[in-house]
Structure 1
Amino acid sequence: MNNYVEIIPILLEGLDITITVLIGSAIFGYLIAFLAGFGRLSKNFLIRNFTKVYIEVFRGTSLVVQLFWFFYVLPGLLGIELSAYLIGVITIGMNYGAYMSEVVRGSILAVSSGQSEAATALNMSRFQRMRFVILPQAIRMMLPEFGNYLIQMLKATSLVSIISLADITYVGLLYRDANISEGVAVFTMLLVLYFIIALPLIGLTRWLERWASKGVATE
């Protein structure tokens, strides 16, 4: 049991990387989700199809491969060199942003057409209809799924260890490599630590589900 306790401070050395990658990925991912979601609804052929290609590529390929591609291929192919932290944030954000863009698109389309027709009757512009009528209702529908994806992004942060970011998984693997007999303890404590980090996110998601269920417009 002492081994398990002793491992905790070692793993916590990578906690700041795990948390900052999660925060950065979440902010970037939600931004991408809205941009791509609106892009899929655009009347412009080029924007709509460019967005569609982006979504299908990032949803149809492995996040691990995407991390390797941005980390190893991008510098040699385009001469663009980014820090491992930025690559982790951008890749995770773009991957989950592709998934969440469908949540954005679906939620906007789920708002009753009668709401838009009523706003049109009040002589609102397209922007005003979206800003004041459709989007507030759609966001309430998006929030529970956004909470679920936030938890998924937390779990995805463990993959940044493969591009040498010293998160809790990377620190744990280094310790395990130096202490082979401690493998069971390391992975057990990693499991526990990720669950503890996820607990407030799980609570937030459940709260968002309850809150959103009180405000979704129905016909």
Structure 2
Amino acid sequence: MLPDNLGTFLSVLWEGVPETVIATVGGIALTIVASFVAGLALLSPSRTVRVISRIYVEGLRGTSEVVQLFWLFFALPILVGFQIVPLWGGIIVLGLNHGAYGAEIVRGSVQSVPRAQYEGAIALSLSPAARMRRVILPQAIVEMIPPFNNLFIQLLKSSSLLSFVFVNEVTRQGQAVLVPLFTAQSFTILLLVLLIYLVLALIITAVMRLLERMASTRLGRRPSEQARRKRVTGAV
């Protein structure tokens, strides 16, 4: 039997979906940029570039995402006298934090391309930039997609942390708005919150699988069995 207040619950939670989607999509976009910049920098022949990228990767991965969020909203304004908009600040934290993890995905995927591909590109007299753009990255991207799928879903779940800085996303709508009013039905409210995240995660997975098929088709091959296993075991 459905709860009497189910319509109210869904209506209030739905008001938080746009904020969650904006934070997730914005965070994913920044994650992709940060991942490729830092990941390729880790492979740079310049030691200085590698060291700077490594500091970013280890610094962001080795510190708490919640503390990063609090530092941006409560400490940084004291230092610079400027308060960033909570939602956009959340996107910055989500993107830079997950970009640090994504950098290792990019680095590992590029290094996984067989050495013969590099040698063939050199034999064709391609410049280093052309080798990377036309030969290495197209193959590496196919390998990146399954772990990026997992990373993006993790980013989606991390978007719930924005409730700490008063962004009215799904978790805050459920925990701060509905639960205090309908304490006896907390189980139902939080179950609905979980289901919303599950649906959004499935959408991300569907999009990433489509992208993987398209990238594989461009290379004239099917997604590897190993990639399929990664998707099944780590998608959610």
TM-score of the superposed pair, with normalisation by structure 2: 0.85
Q: 1:87–1:109: structure 2 CA closer, same or farther, 3 Å change rule?
A: same
Is 1:190 the counterpart of 2:193? The answer is yes
Matched, 1:69 2:77: no
The normalised TM-score by structure 1 is: 0.92
> In the alignment, is the contact (CA less than 8 A) between 2:212 and 2:223 conserved in 1?
no
Partner of 2:232: none
Gaps of 5+ in 2: 225-236
State the secondary structure of the residue aligned to 2:32. Answer: helix
Unaligned runs of 5+ in 1: none
1:206 CA displacement: 4.3
Q: How far off is 1:139 after superposition?
A: 0.8
Alignment-derived partner of residue 44 in structure 1: 46
Query: What RMSD over aligned residues (CA atoms) do the two structures have, in Å?
Result: 1.7
Which residue does the alignment assign to 1:214? Answer: 222
Name the residue aligned to 1:123: 125
Task: Report deviation, 1:44.
Answer: 1.6
Query: 2:107 corresponds to which letter in structure 1?
Result: R
1:155 matched to 2:163: no
Q: CA deviation at 1:181?
A: 2.4
Matching residue within 173, 179, 183 for 1:180: 183
Distance 1:83 1:6 in 2: 29
Aligned to 2:230: none
Q: Does residue 107 of structure 2 align to residue 99 of structure 1?
A: no
Q: Judge which range, 91-100 or 138-147, deviates more.
A: 138-147
Which structure has more relative contact order (CA 8 Å, sep 6+)? It is 1
Across the two proteins, how many residue pairs are aligned to each other?
A: 216
The alpha-carbon deviation at position 209 of structure 1 amounts to 5.6
CA distance in 2, matches of 1:187, 1:119: 54
SS of match in other structure, 1:178 = coil
Q: Percent identity?
A: 37
